Structure 1
Amino acid sequence: IKVPVTKDFAIDTHVLEAKFKEAQERGIEVFAIIGSAPSTATGIFDNLECISEFAQEHNIWFHVDGAHGGAGIFSKKYKHTLKGIAQADSVVIDGHKMMMMPALTTALLFKDENNAKATFSQKADYLLTDSEHEDWYNSGKRTFECTKNMMAIHWFTLLKLYGEEVFDAHVTLLYDLGSLFADLIEAEPNFELALRPMSNIVCFRYVNPNSNFEEQNNLNIKIRQYLLEDGEFYIVQTKLKNVHFLRVTVMNPFSTEEHFKALIHKIKAYVIR
Structure 2
Amino acid sequence: MLAARQHGVDVWRSGVKHAPQLRILTSSLAHYSISRAAGIMGLGTDAVLAVAVDAQGRMDMADLARLHASCLQHGEIVMAVVASAGCTATGSIDPLQDIAAFCQAQQLWLHVDGAHGASALLSTQHAHKLQGIALADSVTWDGHKLLYMPAAVSAVLFREARHSYLAFAQDASYLFHGEDAALDYNTSYRTLECTKRMMGLKLLAAFKLYGRQGMAQLLDHVFALASSFADALAQAPDFELLMRPQTNIVCFRYRTDAAQSNRLQSWLRLQLLQGGDYHLSQVEISGTLWLRCTLMNPYTELKHLQGLLERIRTRTRSAEENG
Q: TM-score range by the shorter chain?
A: over 0.9
Is 1:140 aligned with 2:171?
Answer: no
Is 1:236 aligned with 2:281?
Answer: yes
**Counterpart code for 2:278:** F
Q: Which residue of 1 aligns with 2:215?
A: 167
Q: Which residue of 2 aligns with 1:69?
A: 117
For residues 120-174 of structure 1, what are the alpha-carbon distances to aligned partners after superposition, in whole Å with 9 as ceiling and x for unaligned? 1222222222226721110012212110111011122222232211222111111
Is 1:90 aligned with 2:138?
Answer: yes
Contact 1:64 1:90 in 2 (8 A): yes
* Aligned partner (choices 249, 271, 276) of residue 226 of structure 1: 271
Is 1:78 aligned with 2:126?
Answer: yes
Q: Which residue of 1 aligns with 2:98?
A: 50
Aligned residue-pair number: 270
For residues 90-145 of structure 1, what are the alpha-carbon distances to aligned partners after superposition, in whole Å with 9 as ceiling and x for unaligned? 11110000012110110110000100001012222222222267211100122121
**Counterpart code for 2:263:** N
Q: Which residue of 2 aligns with 1:198?
A: 246
**Counterpart code for 2:299:** F
Q: Which one is further off, 246-255 or 155-164?
A: 155-164
Gapped runs of 5+ residues in structure 1? none
* Aligned partner (choices 121, 127, 135) of residue 175 of structure 2: 127
Q: Which residue of 2 aligns with 1:247?
A: 292
Contact 1:23 1:29 in 2 (8 A): yes
* Aligned partner (choices 287, 301, 304) of residue 256 of structure 1: 301
**Counterpart code for 1:173:** H
Contact 2:181 2:189 in 1 (8 A): no
**Counterpart code for 1:10:** R
For residues 5-42 of structure 1, what are the alpha-carbon distances to aligned partners after superposition, in whole Å with 9 as ceiling and x for unaligned? 11222110123222211101111101211111111101
Give distance in 2, aligned partners of 1:38 and 1:133: 33
Give distance in 1, aligned partners of 2:93 and 2:261: 27
Give distance in 1, aligned partners of 2:219 and 2:176: 40
Is 1:179 aligned with 2:224?
Answer: no
Q: Which residue of 2 aligns with 1:215?
A: 260
**Counterpart code for 1:267:** I
* Aligned partner (choices 305, 310, 316) of residue 265 of structure 1: 310
RMSD: 1.2
**Counterpart code for 1:73:** L
Q: Alpha-carbon deviation of 1:214?
A: 2.8
Compare relative contact order (CA 8 Å, sep 6+) and give the higher one, 1 or 2. 1
For residues 201-250 of structure 1, what are the alpha-carbon distances to aligned partners after superposition, in whole Å with 9 as ceiling and x for unaligned? 00000002xx2x23011111110010111111100000111111000000
Q: Secondary structure at the match of 1:97?
A: coil
Q: Secondary structure at the match of 1:163?
A: helix
TM score, norm. by length of structure 1? 0.96
Q: 1:236–1:30: structure 2 CA closer, same or farther, 3 Å change rule?
A: same
TM score, norm. by length of structure 2? 0.81
Contact 1:49 1:83 in 2 (8 A): yes
Q: Secondary structure at the match of 2:145?
A: helix
Q: Secondary structure at the match of 1:27?
A: coil
Contact 2:84 2:114 in 1 (8 A): yes
Among the aligned pairs, what percent are the same residue? 37
Q: Alpha-carbon deviation of 1:73?
A: 0.4
For residues 177-198 of structure 1, what are the alpha-carbon distances to aligned partners after superposition, in whole Å with 9 as ceiling and x for unaligned? 1111111111211000011111
Q: Secondary structure at the match of 1:245?
A: strand
Is 1:105 aligned with 2:150?
Answer: no
